[in-house]
Amino acid sequence: MKLTFFGGAGTVTGSKALLESDFTKILIDCGLFQGLKELRRKNWDKLPIDLDELNLVILTHAHLDHIGYLPVLVKNGYTKNIYCTKATEDLAKIILLDSAKIQEEDAKRANKYSYSNHKPAFPLYTINDAKKTINQLKSFELNTWYPINIDIQFKFLNSGHILGSAFVLLNIKGKIIVFSGDIGRKKPILLPRYKYIDKADYVVIESTYGNRLHKKRKITAQLLRYIKLTYSKGGILIIPSFSVERAQEIIYFLSLLKREHKLPQIPIYLDSPMGVNATEVYFKYTNYHTLTEEDINSMINTVHLISDVTTSKSIVNDLNPKIVIAGSGMITGGRVLHYLDKLISDKKNSILIVGYQAEGTRGRSLLSGDSELKFFGKYHPIKAEVFKINEFSGHADQSELLDWLQHFKEAPNLTIINHGEPHQSQALKVKIKTALGWKCTVAKMNNEYYLN
């Protein structure tokens, strides 16, 4: 068997791992590169995989850095199945169509205002490409082994990261290979905890927070503090948010504060078509999360769900105090840019960062204390206050990653660390070697790893 990483190695984006066994080729995840320009350019490079020989794609979960390259794969000729969990299928439909729409809109805007070096600028893929991709999705239940061919079986187990997220287990002629995808917290906010696994011959584990421990502070107290501070200035609180999981978590905490009568009397909006659709999917899969019916009803009554453009524009132009949750989470695109265009240069407003910000993203620039932010082809001075809540993280920290690994009854032959910036992956490697005594290595882009 041979494993090659074409993304998610030395970086937290663009996850793609090709597993080859005899004449079978399986791609685990097919993510979009985000963040640094040098990474985003890789989205335009030809993937060094013969798509005629690729037998199957299996997805760990529906985040863009794990599924966002699929329409390129399909556009370039991939016609076979894409396996995932049922909730991942529903979320992937929403996310891929939204991503394609943004790709088309960005290209259109670049051509209109001539701020692209490409004349004309083209989208990486189109809505039509995304629709074709959706037709190739095939979903499966958790906790059950399914055959791929006479030699290979696969199984999904809950990983606790987002709705529908799963560890991918492959049994190839008796050898077990586990792909963690992204691992959630030991005590997630809205989801059941990740499943433990007894045995594996090889493990591929993420390392997004492989070098740190999450602080334990009460989220509602921090959230309320920033809401009240912004409200006292007569400002608007903008929360750039990932549409899946993070948006629902924020709405949940806001609903708790509302139930306790602690919130100011101001409107709260989720202005994200993808976020609205993802929230509806969330409420559909009651067996995949831990929300009660009371929780769901309270969330529905706390926030105004905004999808249509006309309403969104009127909210952008209304400068009265409010809370706006808008995509995208790393401020790489989406409706949040329209709010920032109007509000970022006014010191009475606030921006609250509630998720991981990859290197090279606008969100990382805000956290780094940059004085201006470039979008829509121009620079905007940053005068709004910028705050951060780390405790929202949906990624396991170092102690939680070790907790998951420690439940294997025997050490795998090899543990491969991926999906982390270099210092994070190296820190986790050292910790695994010293704490567990396991043989492990950090994945490198385009390197081939032979699994005996």
Q: Which of 95-104, 109-118, 310-319, 333-342 has the lowest mean pLDDT?
A: 109-118
Whether the pLDDT of residue 193 is over 80: the answer is yes
Q: What is the mean pLDDT of residues 427-437?
A: 98
Strand, helix or coil at 373? strand
Whether the pLDDT of residue 114 is over 80: the answer is no
> Which pLDDT score is estimated for 198?
96
Q: What is the mean pLDDT of residues 134-144?
A: 98
**pLDDT tens digits, residue range 1-28?**
999 999 999 999 999 999 999 999 999 9
State if pTM tops 0.75.
Answer: yes
Are residues 355 and 367 in contact, defined by beta-carbon separation less than 8 angstroms? no
Residue with tokens 């990983």: 159
> Which pLDDT score is estimated for 119?
76
**pLDDT tens digits, residue range 387-430?**
999 888 889 999 999 999 999 999 999 999 999 999 999 999 99
Helices 246-259 and 293-302 pack at an angle, to 10 degrees, of 90
Q: What is the CA radius of gyration of the chain?
A: 22
Whether the pLDDT of residue 113 is over 80: the answer is no
> Which pLDDT score is estimated for 358?
81
> Which pLDDT score is estimated for 106?
84
Percent of the chain topping pLDDT 70: 100
Residue 11: closest CA among 374, 364, 392 = 364
Q: Please report the domains of the chain, with CATH numbers, ordered by start residue.
A: 2-212+394-450 (3.60.15.10), 219-388 (3.40.50.10890)
Burial of 369 (0-12, 13-18, 19+ CB in 10 A): exposed
Whether the pLDDT of residue 118 is over 80: the answer is no
Helices (H) and strands (E) in the chain, counts: 14, 22
Residue 203: closest CA among 173, 172, 169 = 169
Average per-residue pLDDT in the chain? Answer: 95
Q: What is the mean pLDDT of residues 29-44?
A: 92
d(CA 102, CA 293): 34
**pLDDT tens digits, residue range 157-191?**
999 999 999 999 999 999 999 999 999 999 999 99
Q: What is the mean pLDDT of residues 30-41?
A: 91
Strand, helix or coil at 322? strand
Q: How confident is the model at residue 91 (pLDDT cuts 50, 70, 90)?
A: very high
Instruction: Output b/e per residue, 274-310; b: 16+ Cβ within 10 A.
Output: bbbbbbebbbeeeebbebeeebbebbeebbebbeeee
Instruction: Output b/e per residue, 17-52; b: 16+ Cβ within 10 A.
Output: bbbbbeebbbbbbbbbbbbbeebbebbeeebebeee
**pLDDT tens digits, residue range 200-255?**
999 999 999 999 999 887 999 999 999 999 999 999 999 999 889 999 999 999 99
Whether the pLDDT of residue 154 is over 90: the answer is yes
Are residues 156 and 140 in contact, defined by beta-carbon separation less than 8 angstroms? yes
Q: How confident is the model at residue 346 (pLDDT cuts 50, 70, 90)?
A: very high
Whether the pLDDT of residue 123 is over 80: the answer is yes
The better pLDDT of the pair 344, 37 is held by 344
d(CA 173, CA 150): 9
Structure-derived torsion over alpha carbons of residues 300, 62, 91, 258, reported in degrees to the nearest 10: 0
Q: Which of 51-55, 191-195, 281-285 has the lowest mean pLDDT?
A: 281-285
